Structure 1
Amino acid sequence: MKEYSVLLVDDEEDVVEAIIQKIDWEGMGYSLLGYAKNGLEALEIAEEKQVDVVLTDIKMPYMDGLTLSHKLKELYPSVKIIIFSGFDEFEYAKEAIRLEAEEYMLKPVDSVELSRIFKKVHERLDEEFDEKQNINRLKNYYMESLPILQESFYTSLIEGNVRQEDMERTMLDYQITLPGKLYCVVVLHNSISLSPEGINPVLISMSIRKLAEERLSKNWKACFFTYLGNTVVITQMDKEEDSYRLTDEMETLCRMAKHVCNATITAGIGKTVASLMDLPLSYMGARDAVAYRVIYGRGKAIAVSDINPEEKENRSLNRELLDEERLLDIYRSIRMASKEELFKDIDLYIKNSSLDNPSLQEYQFFLMDLVTNIHKFLLSNQLDAGIIFPKEEDVYQKVQQFNLSELSDWMKRICEKIQVVIQEKRSDKTKSFVKKAVEHVHSHYMDKDLSVEALSFALHVSAAYFSTVFKRETGKSFINYLTDYRMEKALRLLVEEEEKTYIIAESVGYSDPNYFSYAFKKKFGMSPSKYKTSGMKNEAK
């Protein structure tokens, strides 16, 4: 029996305890995540863990059950909501129907009836899961949703093989419309080694694609196709800032794919471009971003602009790099692979360089082209060539003396040095990035509107990337860090200032003094007023 997760939400602890005791959760195929005392707590839990079913009361402090249900359905459309309340009011029941809640129950809750409802919800979840996993349906969907002509056109588009003069006519013939002001390519990579046994990886990929189409088609006017084993998405947007929202959308998609399809996918988001002719540049950025999964972890959304947000675009250089396919693996290994993998790619590059019996002139041109490309790579990564090559050394003249074996050794020394410099630079950028975020918290903690979204926008990165980096560097999520810092300030103010609790709450960023008191007690085990009284007593002693 497949197991689904349940979250209970009610501010009456005795009611929750009674429900927990009355139901055989494991026997019915559920795992109990625990319970929250209000809607805000429930949202925090849903953000951290995948929740399948939520049983919630309506009347609660800080955020009621209907508001919670609205937000959950908006963020996680597949979540099942069961509402129970002590109020038999028609408006509540009508709103529950509009929310497509599974059931609206009245307190006190009858264990037999509640068990029946949870059994029915389990059956519905099984049906939805089976529908997504149904092999025959996926095969039919695959045949119906991949018109050969459109697939061929999208592939040619990201490869740069569509001529400008042929674009309009071809799109008209293939019934394709791409009217966006800006475009961005996303690559969805399925980690086959982490796929469940017994299911064809191709069918898993199709399940991922269907899930992506359900999430992205409408809001992003997205086009989907399969290329080199990955699902590729061409998205359209109106403004540059939408790229941050796109990254966050992809982060949610990665989490849903793990839960719904039991698949680990990495979403690589390329650069935003203003012309369909520049889509190859966006695709290359998306592919490079996917490769960074070895650093940032699989199952995440990675935007190429987040990896190096200060990198300046040089389109002519990028177009040349597109033609240097033989060096791309070495470039990617410099950025993210181990030294051993880098050396293997260099050996492979030398072996496949078609230099078995070159003329002297061909060999010299090859060496000059290689050194030029390394210089371009340094430029594209904003690295000073003087750090890698001694300034007094004529590199072009030096390499002319190398045979292939000596050239291989030289490349390994140079590329390893570049790799070390890039890793140090990336580490410095990450630390600087987190330092700016921490400094912002310290100077703006009193701002009640301070949030992950606001701060990530100010730092010009996506909220998903910001959250990942911040937690990795500080050991805390941004919300936990902000809350802890606000509580530290509140502790000091409670002892040092002769102010009312609601004034202190406002001064540390809480617009609702009741919620401030609740958060304070949750962290320190006593109310702010009690802490203040105990602090004054200790001072008097």
Structure 2
Amino acid sequence: MYDILIVDDEASVREMIVELVDWNGRGFNCVGHSENGMDALEAAIRLRPDVVLTDICMPFMDGLELARRLSDELPRCRVVFLTGHDDFEYARQAVRLGAEDYLMKPMTAAELCALLDRLRQQLDEERYRLEDMDRLRRQLNESFPVLRERFLERLVIAGVRKGEAEERLAYFGIDLGGPDYVVLAVDPDRFDDRLGAEDRELLRFAVYNIVQELTGAEAAPAVFQSREERVLAVLSGDASRDLEARAQHLAEQIRDAAERYLPITVTSGIGRPACGLRDLPRSYAEAATALEYRLLLGGNRVIGISDMEGRESALYFESAQEEKKLVTAIRTGNASEAEAAISETFARLRGAFPTVERCRIQIQKWIMAIVQTVAELGGDESEAFGHQAHPFDILSSCKTLDEIERRLTEAARRAIAAVSAARTDFCRLQMLNAEAFIRERYGDPELSLKTICRHLHMSTSYFSAEFKRHTGKTFVEYVTAERIAKAKELLKLTDAKTYEIAAKVGYKDPHYFSLIFKKATGETPKEHRQKAAMP
């Protein structure tokens, strides 16, 4: 429902307008009527109507002046002019100057209703826009902390133009001080694997609170969490007055507080001082690089990029010999040898202190060696690193060499188990193939151990051992049993001669066949046939 005020110096016109339409039915509430512009202005300021329907020519203050005054006092109030034919040019001028519309006297109910319908639609649309703006303003206020963090992240990591930086800093109420800055990056070390997602988030928030509290009121506005879930702090001051030393001292306090109050440890990386806001991304990049040296140094540390850059690093590191030992250990199923090879390599890595990048490359090579070896031996390579994980996830989920060494050792053990399982399955399949081959070729007098081994691409010694383990018989015993079983069937079901049956089951010499048959059954072929024929 919208409020409307009617203004006309003729009482009959005002009464006619009031009675002309069903105001409530049109969505309006007629809050009053005035006989001149001066009274109308006072009433409008008091009643604050949405629409003023006013005549142009009136005593004390005409409609044009009323419209001008209303635009100052009630800028959202819509003004519609009533005018006769003599004042038509005034009405058109008023519309050009900002009036909403005009109606010619005398008006009809249909004309007034059509005008009211247009006004209600426009007022509805404006109300929806204002409600949308209010909703957006509430959402903005609710999202303010997140927007503040995202701005600080962009300022520190990517950089922002000077004018925009100053404007946004003022908007978010952030005073970074200056003139120089140091970026401190704080990251939790390894979480307990038993912790759920909520517990991990609580611990990250606890780290954030520790950093914010220890930085003090001066630097607290410049503490935020990045999308990598690190806590970043921007410290300001004069680089010539030990700004870097202040950052080092603060990082030590943060490390000690986390170790004392939380079930996790943290590592901090410190960049070198930045001269001005535009140099912040360089200090951040150095802090992030310093943090990466946790891979070589271990967790629960404070690492300054200045200290790392002055340290001797092995630009080249090779472990082909240990890698070969690992592959051999997986192939032979020797878990202790695999663990020893991994242990030797990581001991050398720690001693050589290569660059972080070179260290990552070496670890990638070891991961690939495990994956390729398992695949070559017919195993499922996903068994080594977990079905739900990519092998290289180790590099992102593990933050120190100790963690990576443990994960690779576990992967090597699982790789050996996968290869062993694959080898067992393959061997069983080969033995089943051997049995099928014998059942098909038992009648071939040339069937031999060498023949079947060539067919299966296996050595005679390995095949003999595996076949005996699989069937409980030697190759010769198994073939003989198969041939005797077939001979019994032929003796019982056919009238073939003994020498004919001998030939059919793979014996060239009928006499030798009879000897083998009697040894296996305790009777001659003839005796067996007679016994089988008895009722």
TM-score, normalising length: structure 1: 0.37
Greater C-alpha Rg: 2
TM-score, normalising length: structure 2: 0.37
